[in-house]
Chains A and B, each alone.
Chain A
Amino acid sequence: VTTYFSDVAALARKDLLLELRAKETLPAMLIFVISSLTVFHFALPDGSDHTAALGLLWIAIVFTALLGLTRAFVPEREQGTIDALILTPCDRSAIWAAKALSVLAFLVIAEAVALPAFAAFFSGVNGRTVAAVALADIGIAAVGTLTGAMAAAGRARELILPLLFLPLSIPIVVGGIGASAHPDGNYMLLLVLYDAVFTLLAWGSFEYVVVET
């Protein structure tokens, strides 16, 4: 078990280090999320209420995540490093766990900018919204990493990922918007349930998704 965690840590460290040096994904995600909030300001008609703006915040989060997820596996494919990853003597699910962790890290950083920006541009962000975003991030990273690996295996790559990911993300959006707009605890429970079920499922099925070619 310790070796498994150290494998995951080493692989995740590799992704974070690469990002630190190349700075390819995170700046794009940050600029994208701020630009989309700006676009949403003009998309919202005058006098729209707080709930409408919250809905747009969730769209911004999901699409920013998509941007980061696209970059998670495509460079590995382009540079052929995915084969090296598959050949590493570790459990295949460790690759998924490491990727999901690095995606989660990028998402959290992007949201650490997006949420204050949203609060400044639109209306305040309460604790429930922050908690819902944190819970949603886990599900997005888990499912998104798996679908990202699927999409990267194909020819269309960036084109396929949103198609695979968006239908699966609908419960996250429902739970997220519900939890940030209503004090109803059931929405949080839905997010927790989604995270638990899909994290387990993605962790268990990843080894079938990456096969040496």
Chain B
Amino acid sequence: VTTYDSAVSSTLDSRRLPLLAASTVVLFAAAMALIFFYAPTDHDQGLSQRIFYFHVPLALTAYVAFGWGAWKALLHLWKRPDTADLESYVAIHQGVILGSLVLLTGMLWAKISWGVWWVWTDDELVLFLVLFLFYCAYFMLRYSVDAGPSRANMCAVYALFGVVLIPISILAIRLSRTIATQHPEVFKAAGPQMSSAQFFTFCVAWAAMISLFATLYNLELAGKRLDAHLRELREILA
């Protein structure tokens, strides 16, 4: 029992979580202030352009989350640390939550800017939807299989398939598209297509979003580990 006791207290005592939470609060407050009071209003789009500071950081962070989940999945199959399976799951879980917000904010902006909620002629929209559906299925797989090494392996293989699906889907979507892309391309080889004030605001907003992801990732991980410890403790006592 003492070993479990120390495992539980080490999960709870971690200094990382409060620090991350504090930095998220500070960064988000800064980002909100910058987005609504500092960043200049766009000449063409007006107020609706400000959703950019949510939409793009959400999307980039979702890709980071999926990438992190795939990396942990690879680690699980390769070096087999005990923690990698749970970490991969939690990263993908956060990625799907961020992903649904990406779709929501994107559709809101599209309705205002393009007059439609969705277009199929755009690479980025379709790719993101395919990936989102793919990772939603990950949960169905995970919750239909009993916990254990078999499920951990299966989920890791599936998470890695997602990484391979990305380039092949990009190729497929590019091929099937007949009209030029409509999605704004802000980041070009020549640099970001915005003023330095806008770019600064964007960077703070993205840092806030990454920090939020890191906080939620660690929070969910701590909760899940606590659950697992409790379950083991109960089994010992029973």
Contacts and interface: CB of A to CB of B under 8 A. Distances in A.
Contact of A150 (B154, B172, B175): B154
Interface in A154-213: 154-157, 159-160, 163-164, 166-168, 170-171, 174-175, 177-178, 184, 186-187, 190, 193-194, 197-198, 201, 205, 208-209, 211, 213
A205 B157 contact: yes
Given A154-B144, A205-B160, A208-B156, A174 B172 contact: yes
A154 B147 CA distance: 10
Interface string B153-186: 1101110110011001101110110000000000
B149 interface: yes
Interface stretch (B51-59, B63-71, B133-141): B133-141
B150 A170 contact: no
A153 B172 contact: no
Contacts of B133: 166-167
A164 B158 contact: yes
Nearest to B156: A208
Contacts, number: 95
A160 B139 CA distance: 10
A167 B137 contact: yes
Contacts of B194: none
B171 A209 contact: no
Given A164-B137, A170-B169, A190 B156 contact: no
Nearest to A184: B175
Interface in A135-160: 146, 150-151, 153-157, 159-160
Contacts of B136: 163
B165 A167 contact: yes
Given A163-B140, A201-B164, A170 B153 contact: no
B interface SS class? helix
Nearest to A179: B175
A120 B136 CA distance: 39
A94 B168 CA distance: 26
B77 interface: yes
A209 B130 contact: no
B204 to A, nearest CB: 34
Interface in A96-147: 146
Contact of B150 (A177, A194, A213): A213
A49 to B, nearest CB: 15
Contacts of B145: 150, 153-155
Given A178-B176, A209-B153, A201 B171 contact: no
Contacts of A151: 141, 144
A168 B134 contact: yes
B175 A208 contact: no
Interface string B33-46: 00000000000000
A187 B175 contact: yes
A164 B173 CA distance: 20
A168 B161 contact: yes
A186 B131 CA distance: 23
B171 A190 contact: yes
Contact of B144 (A146, A156, A174): A156
Interface in B6-54: none
A211 B172 contact: no
B172 A170 contact: yes
Interface centre among B131, B144, B145 (most CB of A within 10 A): B144
A193 B168 contact: yes
A166 B146 CA distance: 23
Interface of A: 146, 150-151, 153-157, 159-160, 163-164, 166-168, 170-171, 174-175, 177-178, 184, 186-187, 190, 193-194, 197-198, 201, 205, 208-209, 211, 213
5 contacts: A146-B157, A150-B157, A157-B144, A190-B171, A208-B153
6 smallest beta-carbon distances between A and B, as pairs: A154-B144, A167-B134, A174-B172, A171-B172, A208-B153, A163-B137
